[in-house]
Every structure is written in structure tokens, then in C-alpha cells.
Amino acid sequence: MKSEFPIEKAIINLITSYKNLISKKMRPLGLYPGQDMILLELLKQDGISQNKLVVELCVDHSTIAKSINRMVKSDLVKTVKSTKDKRVTLVSLTTKGRKMAQQVEAIWLESEQNATSGLSSEEQQLFIELINQITKNLNK
């Protein structure tokens, strides 16, 4: 029997499976949901503003603020006011946070390798192009 909404079902199954895989691997690290993304972003751009994290991660300011407060208490990040503009809070990794971010990066890399196992580099590129086109279509 043919599924009535095969694209929707495929997208939901993909997202659910990937999210479950990442969650299972992240659980031992004791991170709250979304903190992995903050750590990865800080690994790329350490010492950026909370506002820049909001933009880069496409989440609202209160979500970032709450996560950053938790991460400060866990000694994963530290915050300082910008010397140029005291209204701006800059976020950077602590030594513990950098180690955790590197563990997160390894988990994401391994998960991506698991997800693309058996696909040629051309198939991987085609998949990315198709997903990007579908996303563009949905955002019209």
C-alpha cells in the first residue's frame, strides 16, 4: 500500500532517527538539549555575543540566555561584558567547556558518518542539494 504523504513521512522518520541517535550519544555527557549546538558554535567562534548565538542557532534570546546561565553554572562557558559596548555579553568556552565541545564535535562527526554510510560522495552531495531545495520550497 502506498503511503499518502511519503515525503512528509520520510522527513519525519529521518529527523526522528537522527535526533534519537544524537540524543543517545549525548546523554552520557549530561548536556541539556541545545547545549551541544552552543558548544559547537563556540568551538567555531569563541568569545561571541549572545545575540550572535541567537542568530547563528536560529533560537530566541530567552532560550540562549537560559542555556548560557546553566552552562556557566556547569563551568562550560564564561561570560563577560564587552569592553566596546557594556550592553553586549560575550560568551566563551572554559577549559572544561572546550573539552566537552570537542567530545560533542566527535559525536556529531561519527553520527554524520553513520548516517551517510554506504552513500557515495556524489549521493551525499545530491542529498544535501535535494534537502536544501525542499527547505527552500517550504520557506516560500
Listing DSSP states for the chain in one string gives: ---SSHHHHHHHHHHHHHHHHHHHHHGGGTPPTTHHHHHHHHHHSTTEEHHHHHHHHT--HHHHHHHHHHHHHTTSEEEEE-SS-TTPEEEEE-HHHHHHHHHHHHHHHHHHHHHTTT--HHHHHHHHHHHHHHHHHHT-
**45 within some domain:** yes
Is residue 117 one of the residues assigned to a domain?
A: no
Residues 11 and 26 in one domain: yes
Q: How confident is residue 1, by pLDDT bands cut at 50, 70 and 90? A: low
Q: Is 125 contained in some domain?
A: no
- Could you list the residue range(s) of the whole structural domain that residue 57 is in? 32-104
> Which grid cell sits at 114?
553513520
**In this predicted model, what pLDDT tens digit does every residue of 87-129 receive, in sequence order?**
889 999 999 999 999 999 999 999 999 999 999 999 999 999 9
Task: Tell me which residue has cell 531545495.
Answer: 133
2 has a pLDDT exceeding 70 = no
Residue 78 lies in a domain: yes
pLDDT at 137 over 80: yes
Q: Which three cell numbers stand for residue 28?
A: 552520557
Q: Which residue has the higher pLDDT, 82 or 10?
A: 10
C-alpha cell at 132: 536544501
Residues 14 and 64 in one domain: no
Sequence length of the chain is 140
Q: Is residue 135 one of the residues assigned to a domain?
A: no
- At residue 32, the pLDDT reads 86
Q: Does residue 86 carry a pLDDT above 90? A: no
Cell digits for 116? 551517510
Say what percent of the chain tops pLDDT 90: 82
Domain count, the chain: 2
Under 8 Å between Cβ of 53 and 91: yes
Q: What is the pLDDT of residues 15-69, one digit of tens each?
A: 999 989 998 898 999 998 889 999 999 999 999 999 999 999 999 999 999 999 9
- What CATH number does residue 39 fall under? 1.10.10.10
What is the pTM for the complete model shown?
A: 0.83
